Amino acid sequence: MAKQLFWRFGLLVLLFAFGVFSLNAQTAMPLNESIDKAQQDIENKLPAGAKIVVLNFTAPSERFSNYVLEELTARLVNSGKLMVVDRQNLDLIQQEMNFQYSGEVSDDSMQSIGQKLGAQSIVSGALSEVSGEYRLRFRTISVETAAIEVLTNATVRNDRQISSLFTSESNIGLTWTTGEKWGKGAVNMVFGVGSFTMKDWLGGSIVAGGELAGAILLIVGITYHEDSSTSSSDGSYSTSETNGNAFAAIGGIALTAGSIIFGYVRPFSYDKSLAKKNGLAFNPENINIALGPDKGGMAVQMSYKMSF
């Protein structure tokens, strides 16, 4: 009886834990769905035709803030249920009052901005990190009373879109996150598979070729043997056998190790958007063909410029 109760209790604990995990997994949503939710909440709780302004959004990245502001504004405008203040008019007020769209704005300042624009409600938002995921919050206040009219929250899934929006301006165009590059580098140990999945044919070929050549040298070094015969003063012959070739074995180990190290760092140096410019991938513009003298005749010389 006690044993049955123990197993039932354990099963209940597992089901509860699974339920909590499933609930959390369902709560997190992509960024665009979170913005859709905010749009619907705002439109459902404000009277039809109300004039609003989407003012500011606070986030660690200015690119992230601008993206959210533009997307929410576009959704509200396209829906047509509310009147949205033109961003050009907001830009004029922004210059006059010297506030930042991606920074904090006090309620008094928001009320003043709303009055200047003739708006009835003002929408502002912020992003905060929660256990590796992000919490998106929007707040709509009344210009007349500063009372909160709409408060909407959503947990945003930490995915590639979030990572790309947090990327600094100098890194725009990078296709893979740091974690993904480490993963590609690890997979590169298997004959450059990681680079090939990035469509980095040059890097993958170098890793695969280096590992293959290293393995061949190592096998040759281990299995190589040489027979030699010598004659002595009494006319007899002696035969000796030398097994192994230390130089080939060491060369094979060094080449394999070098290929693995190259495979680890290659994903970090390879940028898909700059591959052709830097010569990291095949680019016909990097081929140079020239005709020049060679041993009393003429020879075609071809070179290819690469950088790593």
Q: Where are the beta strands (DSSP E) in the chain?
A: 51-58, 83-84, 121-130, 133-142, 148-156, 225-231, 237-243, 287-294, 297-304
- What is the longest distance spanned by two Cα atoms in the chain? 120
CA proximity to 77, closest of 42, 112, 33, 126:
42
Which sequence spans correspond to the domains of the chain? 23-170, 178-227+239-304
Selected residue with higher pLDDT from 275 and 249: 249
Q: What is the pLDDT of residues 198-226, one digit of tens each?
A: 777 888 889 999 889 988 888 887 876 55
Residues 6+ apart with CB under 8 A from 218: 248, 249, 252, 253, 256
Query: Which helix or strand (DSSP H or E) is residue 277 part of?
Result: helix 275-278
Q: What is the pLDDT of residues 38-54, one digit of tens each?
A: 999 999 999 999 999 99
Does residue 292 register a pLDDT over 70?
A: no
So what's the pLDDT on residue 147?
92
Q: Which fold has domain 23-170?
A: Rossmann fold (3.40.50)
Does residue 304 register a pLDDT over 70?
A: no
CA distance linking residue 43 with residue 72, whole number of Å? 12
Residue 272: which pLDDT band, with cuts at 50, 70 and 90?
low
Does residue 24 register a pLDDT over 70?
A: no
Does residue 122 register a pLDDT over 90?
A: yes
So what's the pLDDT on residue 108?
86
* Helices 246-269, 201-223: crossing angle, 10 deg rounding: 160
So what's the pLDDT on residue 142?
93
Polymer length of the chain: 308
Q: How many CB atoms lie within 10 A of CB 199?
A: 13
So what's the pLDDT on residue 172?
41
Averaged pLDDT of the chain: 75
Query: Which helix or strand (DSSP H or E) is residue 185 part of?
Result: helix 178-187
Does residue 235 register a pLDDT over 60?
A: no
CA distances from 296 to 138, 292, 299, 300 (A): 79, 10, 10, 13
CA distance linking residue 261 with residue 201, whole number of Å? 17
Q: What is the pLDDT of residues 125-176, one digit of tens each?
A: 998 877 667 889 999 999 999 899 999 999 888 777 777 777 654 444 445 6
Looking at 91-105, 116-130, 294-308, which range is the least confident one? 294-308
Q: What is the DSSP code (8-state) at residue 97? A: H
